Amino acid sequence: MNRFIKGFTYTFHRNLGKEDRVIRAFIATLMLAFWYFGLITGLIGSILGVLALMLLGTVASARCGVTYWFDKNTMHEQEKQSLKTKGINYE
């Protein structure tokens, strides 16, 4: 299966490190707070809300299609070793 299609089907393994997930969670939380408290409304508010939910999805699954397409893995070696000992696959 080609890399682009595989990125859309979400059949790849983990590729996000802990630091990347923390940053994404922080940004998504800010975006949702701005939307919830009415600081950003209308179409832009809706778009930011959807993007925030997508970011939270990547945080929860530790997988990102865009990162996969660019053949990047943001995990440090220590994280990779920890996952390897637990038997968890990563890209």
Is the per-residue pLDDT at 1 higher than 80?
A: no
Mean pLDDT of the region 49-76: 91
Is the per-residue pLDDT at 64 higher than 70?
A: yes
What is the residue type of 42? Answer: G
Is the per-residue pLDDT at 3 higher than 70?
A: no
Instruction: Please give the model's pTM, rounded to 2 decimal places.
Output: 0.79
Is the per-residue pLDDT at 57 higher than 90?
A: yes
Alpha helices for 10-76 (secondary structure H): 18-36, 42-61, 65-69
Q: With contact defined as beta carbons under 8 Å apart, do 40 and 58 qualify?
A: no
Mean pLDDT of the region 26-54: 94
- Beta-ladder partners of 14: 90
Domain ranges of the chain: 13-86
Q: pLDDT value at position 4? A: 65
